[in-house]
Amino acid sequence: MDEYQIDSTTKLSLGIELGSTRIKAILIDEHQVVVASGNFEWENELKNGIWTYDLNDIWKGIQTSYKLLKKEVKDKYDFTLSEIGAIGFSAMMHGYLVFDKNDQLLTPFRTWRNATTAQAEQQLTQIFGFNIPQRWSIAHLYQAFLNNEEHVKDIAFFTTLAGYVHWKLTGEKVLGIGDASGMFPIDSKTKNYNLKMMAIIDEKVSDKNYSWKLKDIIPKVLVAGNKAGKLTEIGAKLLDPDGDLVSGIPLCPPEGDAGTGMIATNSVRQRTGNISAGTSIFAMIVLEQELSKVYPEIDMVTTPKGDAVAMVHANNCSSELNAWVKIFREFIDAVGIKMNTDQLYQTLLSESLKGDMDAGGVLSYGYLSGENITKIPEGRPLLVRTSDSNFNLANLVRVNIYTAFAALQIGMRALTEKEQVNVDQIFGHGGIFKTKGVAGQMLSSAIKIPVSTLETASEGGAWGIALLADYLSFADKGMSLEDYLEQKVFVDKKVISYLPVDEEVLGFEKFIKRYETGLPIEMAAIENFSI
């Protein structure tokens, strides 16, 4: 591998994903192998009761991650990155970014994390006969209408984070169908927004005499393989302020992190699924047929090519585990122990294997924010135990892994138990799966489904959107997305598979019963503890 070399003639594809806590840039070659990367750590802020990111931080993060990637190319391969075969951007789905006719942001970016649209969620779900979760973009727009917010009348463009970045770099107001399906319901037959539902929105807001119709302000829908514009000169300078990057590079449709997770785990065929774990966690199951009814815990979205997907999304996953790891980091630094972060995670997660299967009677809620599935409106991370709980390091780590999967497991019951949806295998991806034999095994026992992880599991969505960019040239030749993934990308990838373990299944069932019974403790914390 030391002799591996790329140069200016190598076909390269760039993917950049804006996640909740990290912006990651990945460069792949014609063999879909990662050849360089760059990262930027960031955090959302709670301002005036709204979870948001500043637009300046968006561009600082994109530019920094690209600059670090470019430096790695220079250092490792001794050439300056200037031409790229294709580029793709992805980001957290949902949320609310609205601009006026002068392209000015009308209100601070409202992310998916905000649980402030309960009234819109209830009304839209009822009038559509289709589940509209609070985090969906249309719920934010409709809630702003219900709130009589002044800015709504001035909206000229309404998009997601990925759609915003793509627009600024190409001038194109488009969105990949997977990301679009988190803005507004999609008709999988037409591969477009549900026009009947759009007409309902226009009728509901008609008494306000807004200057817009929904179809005029929402991005155009594109599917994987469609051309989505080219990098403009302004866009090239915005991405690479050094001025080395050329304009004219084609871009694939901007996608959401759910869609790129499906790509990164080869989960776009029916009866396949994936679970993406990070700050939030969601399961994506590609359906063979429609569900029998509407479930509040299940979103209906699509794959990047437009096929129907049942999505179970929980707002909280690994944030509390990360917080505990940070505490241990401070401790080992204080006593002078040298250990990098990857080693620390691996040590702690491996220690959890020594714990009791029910986590020793310890209970944890990793609710940094409100949780939609369990109807918890705000975040209050908690660790609770009785005087006779078996509280030790192994159980502390195990309970934080269990709680990372708990809300998701509750939500998935509607699919696996009520709808009897068949899933042959689920692929897990995200940093929590990086330590072999731990989180993947526990997840399998929690959901009672075989779980596999790939050697690329920790690369996540940035690799997924790089693949979608790379796919553009294969789509031109008529290759389907499924065949591209199976024949070009995953043919030689190593897979680690886990099956549910009976003892662990029973242990998790004891934990989840404790978890559901204890939810009033979480509500009491919200009612009685605030700063």
Each residue's pLDDT expressed in tens, for the chain with a length of 531 residues: 456 788 888 999 999 999 988 999 999 999 999 999 999 999 999 999 999 999 999 999 999 999 999 999 999 999 999 999 999 999 999 999 999 999 999 999 999 988 899 999 999 999 999 999 999 999 999 999 999 999 999 999 999 999 999 999 999 999 999 999 999 999 988 999 999 999 999 999 999 999 999 999 999 999 999 999 999 999 999 999 999 999 999 999 999 998 998 998 889 988 889 898 888 898 999 998 889 999 888 989 999 999 999 999 899 999 999 999 999 999 999 999 999 999 999 999 999 999 999 999 999 999 999 998 999 999 999 999 999 999 999 999 999 999 999 999 999 998 988 898 988 889 988 889 989 999 999 999 999 999 998 765 456 789 999 999 999 999 999 999 999 999 999 888 788 999 999 999 999 999 999 999 999 999 999 999 987
**DSSP string computed for 473-526:** HHHHTT--HHHHIIIIISTT--EEEE---HHHHHHHHHHHHHHHHTHHHHHHHH
Residue 36 covered by a domain: no
Distances (CA, A) of 354 to 304, 327, 349, 358, 446: 40, 20, 10, 12, 17
- Decide: helix, strand or coil at residue 85: coil
Phi-psi region of 204 (alpha: psi -120 to 50; beta: other; left: phi over 0): alpha
User: 293 and 209, same structural domain?
Assistant: no
Quick check: is 81 in a domain?
no
310 plus 415 within the same structural domain: yes
Residue 108 within a domain:
yes
SS3 category, 279: coil
User: Is 428 within the bounds of a domain?
Assistant: yes
Residue 463 is given by DSSP the state H
Asked if residue 169 belongs to a domain, the reply is no
Domain housing 303: 266-315+411-498
Same domain? For 479 and 521 the reply is: no
Burial 86-100 (b: 16+ CB within 10 A, else e): bbbbbbbbbbbbbbe
Could you tell me if 193 and 308 lie in one domain? no
Output the pTM of the full model.
0.82
Half-sphere CA count of 442, side-chain side, radius 13 A: 30
Interaxial angle between packed helices 341-351 and 319-334, expressed in degrees from 0 to 180 and rounded to the nearest 10 = 110
Are 101 and 150 in a shared domain?
yes
DSSP H or E stretch at residue 226: none
The answer to whether residues 292 and 416 belong to one domain is: yes
Q: Tell whether 108 and 213 lie within a shared domain.
A: yes
Q: How many domains does the chain have?
A: 3
Instruction: Provide the angle, in degrees to the nearest 10, between the axes of the packed helices 161-170 and 55-77.
Output: 70
| 356 and 323 in a common domain | yes
Sign (positive or negative) of CA dihedral 380, 386, 389, 392:
positive
Query: Quick one: 424 and 396 in the same domain?
Result: no
359 and 392 housed in the same domain: yes
509 found inside a domain = yes
Q: What is the CATH number of the domain that holds 291?
A: 3.30.420.40
